[in-house]
Amino acid sequence: MTDTKITSKEAIMLVVTIFVSHTIVTLPQNLLSNTKSATLINLLYVGIIAILLAYVIYRLLKNFASLDIVDISQYLGGNILKNIIGGIFITYFIVSSSNLLREFCEGLHVAFFPMTSIQFVLIPFILVLFLTNSLSFSSNVKTIAIIFPIVLISIVFLFFGNFQNFSFERMFPILGKGFYDTFITGIGNIFAFSGISCLYFIPPYLKEPNKMKQIALSSVIIGLLYFLFCTATILLLFSFFVDVDEVLPLYSAASYIEFGIFFQRLESFFMLIWILEIGCYLIVTNRFSISIFQKITNLKFQKPLAMIFPLLILGISLLPKNYSIIRFLESNIYSYFIIAIIFVLGIAILLLANLKKRKEGKVR
Amino acid sequence: MKHLLKVFSFVVIFVILTVSFSSSYTRLNLDNIAVVVAIGIDKGENNKLKVSFQFTNPSSVSESGSSETAPTILKSVTASSISSAINLMNSHLGKELTLAHCKLLVFSEEIAKEGISDDIYTLMNDAQTRPSCNIVISKCTAEYYIDNSKPFLESLISKYYELFISSNQFTGYTANATLGRFFDNMICQSCDPYAILGGINLQIPSDSENSFSNKESTDMSNSSSLTGETISENVGLAVFREGTLVGELNAIETLAFMCINNDIKGFLISVPSPHVENQNIDVYLTPARNSKIDVSFINGSPYIKVDCKFCAQIYSMTNDSNYLDNNVLSQISESCNRYLKHVFTEYLYKTSKEYKSDINAIGKTSLKLFSTISQYENYGWREHYQDSFFDVSVDVNVKSSTLLSDS
């Protein structure tokens, strides 16, 4: 666990991995149910806001060199604030990982393992975390750097593979539910950019901290393009993706790709790639959770935590009794949770810390 | 030693993960599954469904080689739902049915008239069913249709089911209607579903002709002029309104549907000869560009402009043909225009006024005229489509004959 520094390219892939993972499950459908046919316009709109926010976060982090948000909150409010902020972000990472894992495994269970108990579908992912926690952070990120381009290509392929089935009229009515729902309440769709949370934690891991601006902006722009591809695939392909809830909408979209009678049933191949992607997401959130916990408890080593956090994720992912609870959490609670923690609390802490620093500078 | 331990633990976890993410071989091996290639759904007794399953024996396919037709087995069961029928058949066969290779879904006309939306939802809910599975509405019972679906030029029934519809690209006499598309059109508020019209050739000549039509163009399943062994045939379309069968289209009407839908690469038609009365000329048309559909509203009713453009080559040749004469080509072009305009207009009014069904998804084109979904829903496209007025323009440019130009 000594080799912890990562390059700026690896950092970009790490951040975008967090964006991407939720699109594999029901994120595109949640976006579509909020803004219907205006989702693409809404995504461009919230994407621009997300880029601005990423820039603001970069500017606010710039004054703290290689400190992450936990260190900054310690600077702002001492150990108490550090523990509170650390606890909140650990809760966010663990709950979002658990919910995503359970949701994805429900899809796997339906499509591939109908006779297998959901616990046994979840356990292999936890084994992956046991394994990766014993490796260095840098090697984890290098793995992500190998897998992420494949995931990105798979989504582009999914888009162009289904292109012949697209009906571009589905983008109309242009305002979807209406102007207010698209541009005012539609701002809520910014929860899709939850990967911005990583920006708060990567500064200590960067080999070149001066490239933080490039990392922040590039990752959000790549994430936005990725969302546009995913959502366009679902929106333009068939109307039932908008009107009927699917367990794994992108998986269903993949089943429509056929090239003649030879290249068919590519969805299994896509699923293999997406399993790896979910693994990458869990690795990132798990490593950040361990790192935060180490900071707030002043532990010297991370190794004792290597098994605790994966087991915590497993335990929480088993809590929902059925799929409807998971969907309720994902579509109704999770979005507000993200907005409150990442876009309100995170930016507020950084702003206050910057004010404090400026005040101290003036006093000197 | 530490390195060895790491390698060993990596190998152990790798093996565990590989095994965990693999499906059970015991459950899915060929000895334990029954591969369904077609499902037929008829109305059974006491409001139940009679579900027929056509199986192929995978081991006999590999043994029989390419020259022999692989044997198929047809079994039927009466149950309250498709899922119950599958369950009963599992029990009867002692194997698990797999629908992953099901290429054909046949509903009898009788059951389709009562509505098949619940069955379509159930089938889409099944993780094994492919969205590319073809949907046929059979004029006879589904069981009889499947029993008579015999691949003459193919050795594999599944390959036959996959390819039998491919002729639509160059005939236009039937359309590619899949389960996924049917489900989509059924849910969509601006379109209606359609299915392939199937039947068994009863070899009874049909006499439904009008002044514009020729015999072949009014063919449909169950009434075609095909002779020979009794086989299944797929000519025409079954028109649905939401999930209920409301009517049928013959070959030429299906061709009109295909042209307006931009689903055709080329087709042959017989148009009245401009020079000799009661004689037809065979012309092969290819779309010069995609058909254009424009929707506007006049007094709340949709006014729909359809604009199609084709290039054509003359297939008919007689000893006095002169296809180097520009006037002759222009007259034949004009004859094609008149004929196709008549056919397309008749088709559009038939589907809108008589069937009240928008199978061409013209409603999607109207979506851009509304700024919000609630405006569109308040207008109610489905209810207003029957009040539509159509303005069809067809522009055929007859370029030449094929090899011979003048005789």
Cα–Cα distance between A245 and A241 in angstroms, integer?
7
**Closest Cα in chain A to B364:** A169
Question: Distance from B264 to chain A by nearest Cα, in Å?
Answer: 14
Tell me: pLDDT of B169 over 80. no
CA B74 to each of CA A40, A103, B200: distance values in angstroms, whole numbers, following the listed order: 48, 39, 17
Q: Which residues contact A312 (CB under 8 A, 6 or more apart)?
A: A94
* Cβ contacts of B124 on chain A, cutoff 8 Å: 240
Q: Which residues contact B6 (CB under 8 A, 6 or more apart)?
A: none
**Closest Cα in chain B to A245:** B125
Burial B142-173 (b: 16+ CB within 10 A, else e): bbbbbbbbebeebebbbebbbebbeebeebbb
Domain ranges of chain A: 8-363
Q: Which of B10, B163, B367 is closest, CB to CB, to A169?
A: B367
Q: Which class is A8-363 in CATH?
A: mainly alpha
Cβ-Cβ pairs closer than 8 A, A with B, add up to: 82
pLDDT value, residue B240: 93
Q: Which of B20, B180, B376 is closest, CB to CB, to A238?
A: B180
And the tokens for A346? Answer: 């995170």
Task: Report which of B192, B190, B196, B181 is spatially closest to residue B241, judged by C-alpha positions.
Answer: B192
pLDDT value, residue A176: 87
Give the mean model confidence (pLDDT) for residues B210-225. Answer: 55
Q: Which of A177, A240, A244 is closest, CB to CB, to B372?
A: A177
A71 vs A302, residue with greater confidence: A71
pLDDT value, residue B205: 52
Q: Kindly report, residue by residue over A219-241, the tens digit of the pLDDT.
A: 999 999 999 999 999 888 877 55
Q: Which of A113, A169, A176 is closest, CB to CB, to B364?
A: A169
Cα–Cα distance between A217 and A219 in angstroms, integer?
6
| CA A348, A354, A360, A363 torsion-angle sign | negative
Can you state the angle between helices A137-161 and A8-24, rounded to 10 degrees? 50
| CA A23, A26, A28, A34 torsion-angle sign | negative
Cα–Cα distance between B125 and B365 in angstroms, integer?
29
Q: Which of B159, B365, B372 is closest, CB to CB, to A178?
A: B372
pLDDT value, residue B209: 43
Residues constituting chain A: 364
The angle subtended at Cα A53 by Cα A34 and Cα A359, nearest 5°, is 140
Mutation target to probe the B interface, by most B beta carbons within 10 A, among A115, A131, A271 is A131
pLDDT band at A315 (very low <50, low <70, confident <90, very high): very high
Taking all residues of chain A, what is their mean pLDDT, rounded to a whole number? Answer: 87
Tell me: pLDDT of B166 over 80. no
Q: Do B17 and A175 touch (CB under 8 A)?
A: no
Q: Do A261 and B159 touch (CB under 8 A)?
A: yes
Contact with chain A for residue B188, Cβ under 8 A: yes
Q: Kindly report, residue by residue over A261-295, the tens digit of the pLDDT.
A: 667 778 888 888 999 999 999 999 999 999 999 98
Tell me: pLDDT of A309 over 70. yes
Q: Do A261 and B180 touch (CB under 8 A)?
A: no
A305 vs B78, residue with greater confidence: B78
Cα–Cα distance between B164 and B342 in angstroms, integer?
29
Q: Do A124 and B21 touch (CB under 8 A)?
A: yes
pLDDT band at B210 (very low <50, low <70, confident <90, very high): very low
Give the mean model confidence (pLDDT) for residues B322-332. Answer: 76
User: What residue type is assigned to position B104 of the chain?
Assistant: L
pLDDT value, residue B212: 43
Q: What percent of chain A has pLDDT over 70?
A: 96
The SS3 call for residue B248 is strand
Cα–Cα distance between A2 and B127 in angstroms, integer?
45
* Cβ contacts of A170 on chain B, cutoff 8 Å: 364, 367
And the tokens for B386? Answer: 């029957």
pLDDT value, residue A221: 94
**Closest Cα in chain A to B374:** A177
The SS3 call for residue A175 is coil
CB B157 within 8 A of CB B55: no
Q: Kindly report, residue by residue over A191-209, the tens digit of the pLDDT.
A: 899 889 889 999 888 888 8
Q: Which of A114, A173, A239 is closest, CB to CB, to B376?
A: A173
pLDDT value, residue B238: 92
Contact with chain A for residue B376, Cβ under 8 A: yes
CB B291 within 8 A of CB B307: yes
pLDDT value, residue B294: 92
Task: Render B11-68 in DSSP notation, one character per residue.
Answer: HHHHHHHHHHTSPPHHHHSTTTEEEEEEEEEEE-GGG-EEEEEEEE-HHHHHHHTTTS
* Cβ contacts of A174 on chain B, cutoff 8 Å: 368, 371
* Cβ contacts of A36 on chain B, cutoff 8 Å: 373
Q: Do A110 and B127 touch (CB under 8 A)?
A: yes
Task: Report which of A29, A104, A28, A91 is spatially closest to residue A279, judged by C-alpha positions.
Answer: A104
- Helix/strand number for chain B, H first, E second: 15, 14
CB A358 within 8 A of CB A59: no
Using a 10 angstrom Cβ sphere, with 0-12 exposed, 13-18 middle and 19 or more buried, the burial of residue B229 is exposed
Task: Report which of A230, A300, A227, A216 is spatially closest to residue A270, judged by C-alpha positions.
Answer: A230
Cα–Cα distance between B163 and B176 in angstroms, integer?
10
Contact with chain A for residue B231, Cβ under 8 A: no
pLDDT value, residue A77: 86
* Helix, strand, coil content of chain A in percent (nearest 5): 80, 0, 20
Cα–Cα distance between A121 and A126 in angstroms, integer?
10
Contact with chain A for residue B370, Cβ under 8 A: yes
Tell me: pLDDT of A2 over 50. no
Mutation target to probe the B interface, by most B beta carbons within 10 A, among A123, A136, A167 is A167
Q: Do A131 and B10 touch (CB under 8 A)?
A: yes
Q: What percent of chain A has pLDDT over 90?
A: 31
- What's the N-to-C CA distance of chain A in angstroms? 39
* Helix, strand, coil content of chain B in percent (nearest 5): 35, 30, 35
Contact with chain A for residue B374, Cβ under 8 A: yes
pLDDT value, residue B222: 59
Tell me: pLDDT of A1 over 50. no
**Closest Cα in chain B to A127:** B13
Q: Which of B20, B127, B370 is closest, CB to CB, to A173?
A: B370
Q: Kindly report, residue by residue over B87-142, the tens digit of the pLDDT.
A: 998 888 888 888 888 888 999 999 999 989 999 999 888 888 888 889 999 988 88
Question: Distance from A255 to chain B by nearest Cα, in Å?
Answer: 7
Task: Report which of A216, A195, A188 is spatially closest to residue A54, judged by C-alpha positions.
Answer: A216
Tell me: pLDDT of B211 over 50. no
Cα–Cα distance between B228 and B235 in angstroms, integer?
17
B222 vs B175, residue with greater confidence: B175
Give the mean model confidence (pLDDT) for residues B313-338. Answer: 78
DSSP state of A6: B
**Closest Cα in chain B to A167:** B364
Tell me: pLDDT of A299 over 50. yes
Q: Which residues contact B64 (CB under 8 A, 6 or more apart)?
A: B70, B71, B155
Q: How many other β-carbons are positioned within 10 Å of the β-carbon of residue B188? A: 24
Task: Render B266-310 in DSSP notation, one character per residue.
Answer: -EEEEEE-SSSTT-EEEEEEEESS--EEEEEEETTEEEEEEEEEE
Task: Report which of A359, A79, A194 is spatially closest to residue A351, judged by C-alpha positions.
Answer: A359
* Cβ contacts of A111 on chain B, cutoff 8 Å: 127
Q: Which residues contact A162 (CB under 8 A, 6 or more apart)?
A: A233, A237, A253, A256, A257
Question: Distance from B319 to chain A by nearest Cα, in Å?
Answer: 43
Using a 10 angstrom Cβ sphere, with 0-12 exposed, 13-18 middle and 19 or more buried, the burial of residue A187 is middle
* Cβ contacts of A265 on chain B, cutoff 8 Å: 130
Tokens 């579908």 map to which residue? A121
